């Protein structure tokens, strides 16, 4: 596997403030990688180092094989979508992309084809000749993403890519990112929306006070914080929960399964991985109309690693910039 991003023992200070203190991480070709942390954790600084807007005080940053001293040459291999990208509203989507193609030295004989392909990739082919003034926020964000793809970068950096978008706009943007990831491009995103990281990223790094406190597959980070799973069963009309309660108590393969609520709905906790056995026992004893298995969330892992003792939903809401 080819390493596309290699950050080694990076330290970055601004006067008396240490923004990053010995951070190391690596990202392979084709990965979608998340950077998360509370405000002031060092995400923005690390992103600026990856983009090439700054060089580290100590340590090394390599992106697409280029170090910090490569300057413009490195940036040719990196696409960057800032949070606040905006465009001249009187231009059409096609005109915006054509302008950026010229700006970024796309060969003249390739521009038209490149623009057409990018419009299709970001789902704007049908709106290519409409003025940007008539675009929704989601369409504008996808147009911004399109400008980063014109140079066919090896690494794509997305800073809060869906901030301010409605659910439909978020879903459309996520679909585009997934399609890009299938082309073996490396994608790194920062997001305060922890569900976005969970939905899109293969791995993630959690930063706290300038330190890397956890890195790994998102699923492993999520699962590491909860040893138990909750199984909630809504019983069929007028069903007596007593046989199901007894069946769980007698379940020899999962002796630690515990009935938390012996009513409708029936709520049972069990070790992670034993949900199937618990459900089978319940369904053999009583008719079940519906069930839900509550798995741990990435927000739980985030909360643990930033040492925040508030409920996960409160931490989650804060990191989306919302009231809990």
Which of 197, 223, 249 represents a domain boundary (last residue)? 223
The model's pTM: 0.76
54: in domain: yes
Sign of the dihedral defined by the CA atoms of residues 324, 157, 297, 236, in that order: positive
Q: How far apart are CA 189 and CA 199, in angstroms?
A: 12
Domain count, the chain: 2
The Cβ of residue 201 has, within 10 Å, a number of other Cβ atoms equal to 24
3-state secondary structure of 48: helix
Long-range contacts of 238-244 (CB under 8 A, 24+ apart): 239/264, 239/286, 239/287, 240/286, 241/266, 241/286, 243/285, 243/286, 244/281, 244/282, 244/285, 244/286
258: in domain: yes
Shared domain for 215 and 247, answered yes or no, is no
Instruction: Name the residue range of residue 188's domain.
Output: 3-77+153-223
Q: What is the pLDDT along the chain (324 residues), one digit of tens a residue?
A: 799 999 999 999 999 999 999 999 999 999 999 999 888 899 999 999 998 889 999 999 999 998 877 777 777 889 999 888 889 999 999 999 999 999 999 999 999 999 999 999 999 999 999 999 999 999 999 999 999 999 999 999 999 999 989 999 999 999 999 999 999 999 999 988 888 999 999 999 999 999 998 899 988 887 776 667 889 999 998 889 999 999 999 999 999 999 999 988 999 999 888 999 999 999 999 999 999 998 777 877 787 777 654 444 454 445 444 433
Residue in this structure with the two tokens 């419009």, named with its chain if needed: 119
pLDDT of 299 reads 78
Which of 184, 206, 223 represents a domain boundary (last residue)? 223
Which of 196, 223, 250 represents a domain boundary (last residue)? 223
49: in domain: yes
Shared domain for 164 and 290, answered yes or no, is no
Burial code (b: 16+ CB inside 10 Å, e: under 16) for 137-153 equals ebbbbbbbbbbbbbbeb
Centroid of chain to Cα 239: 42
C-beta separation of 101 from 111 below 8 A: yes
pLDDT of 223 reads 73
DSSP 153: -
The Cβ of residue 131 has, within 10 Å, a number of other Cβ atoms equal to 15
């Amino acid at each position: 596997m080819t390493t596309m991003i290699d950050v080694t023992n990076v330290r970055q200070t601004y006067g008396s403030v240490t923004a990053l203190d010995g951070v190391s991480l690596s990202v392979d070709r084709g990965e979608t990688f998340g950077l998360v942390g509370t405000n002031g954790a060092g995400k923005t600084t690390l992103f600026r180092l990856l983009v090439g807007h700054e060089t580290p005080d100590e340590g090394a940053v390599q992106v697409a094989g280029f170090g910090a001293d490569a300057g413009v040459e490195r940036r040719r291999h990196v696409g960057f979508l800032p949070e606040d990208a905006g465009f001249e509203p009187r231009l059409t989507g096609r005109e915006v992309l054509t302008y950026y193609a010229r700006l970024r030295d796309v060969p003249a004989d390739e521009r038209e084809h490149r623009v057409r392909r990018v419009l299709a990739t970001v789902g704007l082919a049908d709106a290519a000749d409409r003025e940007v003034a008539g675009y929704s926020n989601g369409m504008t964000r996808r147009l911004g993403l399109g400008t980063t793809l014109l140079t066919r970068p090896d690494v794509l950096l997305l800073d809060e890519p869906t901030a301010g978008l409605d659910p439909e706009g978020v879903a459309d943007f996520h679909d585009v990112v997934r399609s890009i990831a299938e082309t073996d491009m490396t994608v790194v995103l920062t997001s305060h929306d922890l569900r976005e990281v969970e939905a899109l990223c293969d791995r993630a790094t959690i930063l706290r006070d300038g330190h890397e406190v956890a890195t790994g597959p998102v699923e492993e980070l999520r699962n590491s914080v909860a040893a138990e799973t909750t199984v909630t069963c809504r019983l069929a009309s007028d069903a007596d929960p007593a046989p199901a309660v007894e069946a769980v108590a007698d379940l020899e393969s999962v002796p630690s399964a515990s009935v938390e609520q012996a009513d409708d709905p029936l709520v049972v906790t069990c070790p992670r991985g034993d949900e199937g056995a618990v459900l089978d026992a319940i369904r053999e004893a009583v008719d079940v109309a519906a069930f839900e298995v509550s798995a741990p969330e990435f927000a739980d892992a985030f909360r643990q690693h930033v040492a925040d003792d508030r409920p996960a939903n409160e931490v989650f809401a804060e990191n989306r910039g919302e009231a809990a």
